[in-house]
Structure 1
Amino acid sequence: MNHRTLAIIAAFFATLIYGLNHTIAKEVMPTYVQPFGFIFLRVSGAALLFWAIAPFAPKQKIDRGDWWRILVCSIAGMVINMLAFFKGLQLSTPINSAVLVTITPIIVVVLSAFFIKEKITLSKGFGVLLGLIGAVTLILFGAESRIDAPNIPLGNFLFIVNATFYGTYLILVKKLIEKYHPFVLLKWLFTIAVIINFPISFSEVTAIEWSVLPVHIIGAIFFVILGTTFGTYLLNAFALTQLKASTIGAFVYLQPLIGVLFALFTGKDQLSGIKITAMGLVLLGVYLASKRPKPGA
């Protein structure tokens, strides 16, 4: 099996884990663990795991000029991105999160035009518009009365914040991945994230009552640490070494499908006309925004 095939498999499993995470993480919050406290468990657990496997990576010293980019990547991808997503998941629903996080490719298109002056074609521009209409539709009209979703509009808005900063992370981290081994890079990214997240999340970590956590909740916490954090970042880092970002971006279409089906199967969420309409607009927008222009176009 060649490296490209392995990279495609890695990208698929990362997407599968992300799709399941919407429902699994939601079950933990806020009854057992508050969102910011959960994030500290994520980043600290992942940091320990990456330090544990670091000896298997080649010896690499980070160039002084790269530390600023590593710092910004950590803040965007392991601090603001994660805090916004888990807080949004506490306030909103699994299906809403599965739909709205898929606008990341649209955000990447917009940010690429801003940061690296990449041209936005008419098709891409229309895709961005459709995706944003879908997102705004879900934010403004997707509210429903649910005890476990106390502020759906705010939660949905935080999913947009999450997608924006994750998109920023993907753009900035690409050069670092091309230069450093994934074990080396992710070790430092998560270590910095632990330091920054600590004062933000400390009070919620100390509030966790470990002795009364049910077994399935402990299992869900380990799934988020080992799978959604350590596993997906490692899988995507490997995939980026073999595949173009646009190829990996195509897997984003699977995430809402997996997330929605799993939420429905477990009875943790339900579909509505607004959700279906918004999902259709977002996915069509992502397709148009991610579509590569024909040569000469």
Structure 2
Amino acid sequence: MKNSVKVHAALFLVALIYAANYSISKDVMPRYMGPFGLVLLRIVGATLFFGVMSRLVAPHDRLTGRADNLRAIACGVLGIGLNQLLFFSGLNLTSPINASLIQTIAPVVTVLASALLLGEKLTLKRVLGVGVAGLGAASIILSKGPVAAGGQDGLLGNVYILLNAAAFGVYLVLVMPLMRKYHPFTVLARIFLVGAFIAVPAGWQQVQAADYASFPPGIWAAIAYMVICLTIVAYLLNNWALKYASPALLGAYIYLQPALAVIIAVSLGKDQLTWDRAWQGLLIFIGVFLVSRKPRPSQLAAVPPLESIQD
């Protein structure tokens, strides 16, 4: 199999894993376990895995210097702890389609953070893209369309997802220097450990309160999916693809995630697609497309690659 085919297959599988999670997580939350409990299981599982892998693959690689260690702490707080707590809290309250559409705003935040933290120049086209994508996201957040059942606060859930996307967008800018300097497993082991210090106290009560004896096999499978596929497998595939894929290709697969999420959610009866959501999503896609357009070659060095959404 040619390398290009393998890259496309890996990126498609990553997009499919993330897209399916929007519906799979709704089967578990909040009936069997609260969102913070799921975050605890996911982060602790990933912390153990990446901690062991870092010792096996790069035993002598260590983060050095005060600046890199502080950057790793910031990445663990924003990209692991807050990112996942906000995502699962938001998904618990809003609908899979709303969450998948709002999350595509992350590349916009990445570009804005690059301008503030790395001094990247904002072009007129990118500023226009930020405005268009922001309009689409705001219209979804403020809309009164169908949300999760049970009278849950869909507006609050939408806001949580927006904050989640913002946290992850800033995280991408902060983590790239570490990924280029150290082995990925070394970085991941550290930032997931930092995230665990946030997730454990936040989710411990919900993990203890769960009635595990009542979990049917399908719920156990869903939890295993979130811990293994969503966190470990998706990252490994995405990290491998980053060696060969261009930022433009990665950006294209960002668009694919909500499309797959809509198909999965509608086919499983978890959500419904309306014309309002269609045009709101279109606004976001147009805005992200404009923001993701490559600047002139002289500006490319400061731009971190747009990775697929990892939640």
TM-score norm. by structure 1 comes to 0.93
Residue 163 of structure 2 corresponds to which residue in structure 1? 161
Greater displacement, 208-217 / 45-54:
45-54
- Retained in 1: the 8 A contact 2:93–2:147? no
Greater displacement, 157-166 / 105-114:
105-114
Residue 104 of structure 1 corresponds to which residue in structure 2? 106
Q: 2:242 aligns with which of 240, 243, 247?
A: 240
Q: 1:268 aligns with which of 267, 270, 273?
A: 270
- Retained in 2: the 8 A contact 1:143–1:153? no
1:182-221 to structure 2, matched below 5 A, reads: 182-221=184-223
- Retained in 1: the 8 A contact 2:32–2:215? yes
After superposition, give the CA deviation of every residue in 1:38-75 in whole Å (9 maximum; x if it has no partner): 10011011112223333431221221331111111111
Residue 12 of structure 2 corresponds to which residue in structure 1? 12
After superposition, give the CA deviation of every residue in 1:129-181 in whole Å (9 maximum; x if it has no partner): 11010000001114336525611111111111010011111111111111222
What's the secondary structure of 2:122's corresponding residue? Answer: coil
Residue 291 of structure 1 corresponds to which residue in structure 2? 293
What's the secondary structure of 1:268's corresponding residue? Answer: coil
Q: Which amino acid in structure 2 is aligned with residue 144 of structure 1?
A: P
Residue 114 in 1 paired to residue 128 in 2?
Answer: no
CA distance in 1, matches of 2:118, 2:166: 16
CA drift at 1:183? 1.9
TM-score norm. by structure 2 comes to 0.89
CA drift at 1:294? 5.7
Q: 1:230 aligns with which of 226, 229, 232?
A: 232
What's the secondary structure of 2:41's corresponding residue? Answer: helix
After superposition, give the CA deviation of every residue in 1:256-293 in whole Å (9 maximum; x if it has no partner): 11100000111110011221111110111111110114
CA distance in 2, matches of 1:191, 1:58: 17
Residue 81 in 1 paired to residue 76 in 2?
Answer: no
CA drift at 1:7? 4.7
- Retained in 2: the 8 A contact 1:178–1:241? no
Residue 53 in 1 paired to residue 63 in 2?
Answer: no
Q: Which amino acid in structure 2 is aligned with residue 53 of structure 1?
A: M
CA drift at 1:115? 1.2
Residue 133 in 1 paired to residue 128 in 2?
Answer: no
Alignment gaps of 5+ in structure 2: 300-311
Cα RMSD (Å): 2.1
- Size of the aligned set, in residue pairs, is 297
Change in 2 beyond 3 A, CA 1:119/1:282:
same
Same amino acid, percent of matched pairs: 35
After superposition, give the CA deviation of every residue in 1:60-94 in whole Å (9 maximum; x if it has no partner): 12213311111111111111110111000000000
- Retained in 2: the 8 A contact 1:177–1:241? no
